[in-house]
């Protein structure tokens, strides 16, 4: 055990001192925090609005295009060539030309731009023209165009989970994102640090330094020390990512206190049928809060069991990594260079890829039979179970415990199998080892 501790310490210190570890440890939290902060910050920036001049030959669209904080419309009766000359001078950003043929012919309009106005502006233009053309044709048919507003419905879906007599919001979109993100991290970490184990074994074997090392320690002790040492590196980096990301977010919140603050809807008892100005204001504020995507996101974060998700992530990351790292170490002992790993690495990575490629299926049906088996089978459970855990109702405790138990048992079995391969293959040089040779080793092991 003392020798394994020495190897663990060597592997740990060797890798945490590398420049790549320091750079990724500092860069990772900045990227994670940026993914959270940047969309919210950009949404609140007040950019200079784009100015579009409308040349409407039909007369149907005058005053119909809505102005927003990021786009404004004005209307002109000048000819198109004059407007184009003014566009070149920079008097406005674009010209929207609506010909008379749009009424009875194909609904084609032209937008002349000095610079791109963005897809949001195009959506506003397209939706406004579609609405007004339908209204015009309904009017010609003798139908009141106000019916368009009545039949044009915008639907917001609020999802609830019934627990006994209580109804709780489920925040499905946020849970979907957390499940996908956690599964993706598990996949990336296992693949990245498992490959690191394999490359470390190949480097020591090809440099012949392994002959000196195994003269002092047993091959199994060397393999376990290398696997556990790199596992500590991965855990250290993950923990640092969490704390540094939280530090960046808290610092940003100090500078922008209102940006990440959830706003509770105002509770007020409306007694009269005729609303007072204050009561009407409260209703409007609550409606605005309900429609605010940022406020809904912050409310979801407050109500989701992040602690359980984090604990589950650590468990599945540790044992998922240990399972695959043992196999990667065995592969590294069979070859002299990284180019010879293809025939051995494919059977190892296929289950990992199956789990990764099945993430979307599991997220769309977390309680289905396929999702259940993917989260129970040890080779796919670290990824598939993490996709299921954020959802409600939560994964039954017996399924979680069974999944972890099978993962641990499989890890122990795989360590024994990899130990046999590692012990035989680590000192073989210059020979192309095949799967047939590996099977012969196990046959002789039984004898």
Residues of the chain with pLDDT under 70: 35-48, 69, 116, 118, 143-172, 207-208, 210-215, 256-304, 336, 338-340, 392-393, 427-432, 434-435, 442-447
Do 115 and 258 fall into the same domain?
no
- pLDDT number for residue 231: 83
Do 87 and 211 fall into the same domain?
no
- pLDDT number for residue 54: 92
pTM of the model: 0.63
- pLDDT number for residue 403: 94
Pairing between β-strand 110-113 and β-strand 94-98 as defined by DSSP bridges: antiparallel
- pLDDT number for residue 398: 92
> Rounded to whole angstroms, how far apart are CA atoms 232 and 241?
14
Query: Is 146 among the domain residues?
Result: yes
Cα three-residue angle 187-192-198, rounded to 5 degrees: 125
Do 259 and 407 fall into the same domain?
yes
Do 313 and 432 fall into the same domain?
yes
211-265 pLDDT per residue, tens: 666 667 777 777 788 888 888 888 888 888 888 887 887 787 777 666 555 555 5
- pLDDT number for residue 363: 85
Query: Is 73 among the domain residues?
Result: yes
Do 373 and 249 fall into the same domain?
yes
For 348, other C-beta atoms within 10 Å of its C-beta total 17
Query: Is 158 among the domain residues?
Result: no
Do 143 and 229 fall into the same domain?
no
Do 278 and 315 fall into the same domain?
yes
- Residue 77's Cβ-side half-sphere holds a number of Cα atoms within 13 Å equal to 1
Element (H, E) at 135: helix 119-140
Do 286 and 434 fall into the same domain?
yes
The number of domains in the chain is 2
- pLDDT number for residue 31: 75
Burial (CB count <10 Å: 0-12, 13-18, 19+), residue 393: exposed
Do 58 and 10 fall into the same domain?
no
Integer angstrom CA distances of residue 419 from 114, 199, 319, 425: 67, 17, 17, 10
Do 10 and 117 fall into the same domain?
no
Do 142 and 217 fall into the same domain?
no
> Rounded to whole angstroms, how far apart are CA atoms 85 and 114?
11
Which domain range does residue 384 map to?
A: 2-38+172-446
Q: How far is CA 40 from the centre of its chain?
A: 16
Query: Is 229 among the domain residues?
Result: yes
Q: What is the CATH number of the domain that holds 125?
A: 3.40.190.10
For 72-100, letters b (16+ CB in 10 Å) and e give ebeeeeeeeeebeeebeeeebbbbbbbee
Query: Is 164 among the domain residues?
Result: no
């Amino acid at each position: 055990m003392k020798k394994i501790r020495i190897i663990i310490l060597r592997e740990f210190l060797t890798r945490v001192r590398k420049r790549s570890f320091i750079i990724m440890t500092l860069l990772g939290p900045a990227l994670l925090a940026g993914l959270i902060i940047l969309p919210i910050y950009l949404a609140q920036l007040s950019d200079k609005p784009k100015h579009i001049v409308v040349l409407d030959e039909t007369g149907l669209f005058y005053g119909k295009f809505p102005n927003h904080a990021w786009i404004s419309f004005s209307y002109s009766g000048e000819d198109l060539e004059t407007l184009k000359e003014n566009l070149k001078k920079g008097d406005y950003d674009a010209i929207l030309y609506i010909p008379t043929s749009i009424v009875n012919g194909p609904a084609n309009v032209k937008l002349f731009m000095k610079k791109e106005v963005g897809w949001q502006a195009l959506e506003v233009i397209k939706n406004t023209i579609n609405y007004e053309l339908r209204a015009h044709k309904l009017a010609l048919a003798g139908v009141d165009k106000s019916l368009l507003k009545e039949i044009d419905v915008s639907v917001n879906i609020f999802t609830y989970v019934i627990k006994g007599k209580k109804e709780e919001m489920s925040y499905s979109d946020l849970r979907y994102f957390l499940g996908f993100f956690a599964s993706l991290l598990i996949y990336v970490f296992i693949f990245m640090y498992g490959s690191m184990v394999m490359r470390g074994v190949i480097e020591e074997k090809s440099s012949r330094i392994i002959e000196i090392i195994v003269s002092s320690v047993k091959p199994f002790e060397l393999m376990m020390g290398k696997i556990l040492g790199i596992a500590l590196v991965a855990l250290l980096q993950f923990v640092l990512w969490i704390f540094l990301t939280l530090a960046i977010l808290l610092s940003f919140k100090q500078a922008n206190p209102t940006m990440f603050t959830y706003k509770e809807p105002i509770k007020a008892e409306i007694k009269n049928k005729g609303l007072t100005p204050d009561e009407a204001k409260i209703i409007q504020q609550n409606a605005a809060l309900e429609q605010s995507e940022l406020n809904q996101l912050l409310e979801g974060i407050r109500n989701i069991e992040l602690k359980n998700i984090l604990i589950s992530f650590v468990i599945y990351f540790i044992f998922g990594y240990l399972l695959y790292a043992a196999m990667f170490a065995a592969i590294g002992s069979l070859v002299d260079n990284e180019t010879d790993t293809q025939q051995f690495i494919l059977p190892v990575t296929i289950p990992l890829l199956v789990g990764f490629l099945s993430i979307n299926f599991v997220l769309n049906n977390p309680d289905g039979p396929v999702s259940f088996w993917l989260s129970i089978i040890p080779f796919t459970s670290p990824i598939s179970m993490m996709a299921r855990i954020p959802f409600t109702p939560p994964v039954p405790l017996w399924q979680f415990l069974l999944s972890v138990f099978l993962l641990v048992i499989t890890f122990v079995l795989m360590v024994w199998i990899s130990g046999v391969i590692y012990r035989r293959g680590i000192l073989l040089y210059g020979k192309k080892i095949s799967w047939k040779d590996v099977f012969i080793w196990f046959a002789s092991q039984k004898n």
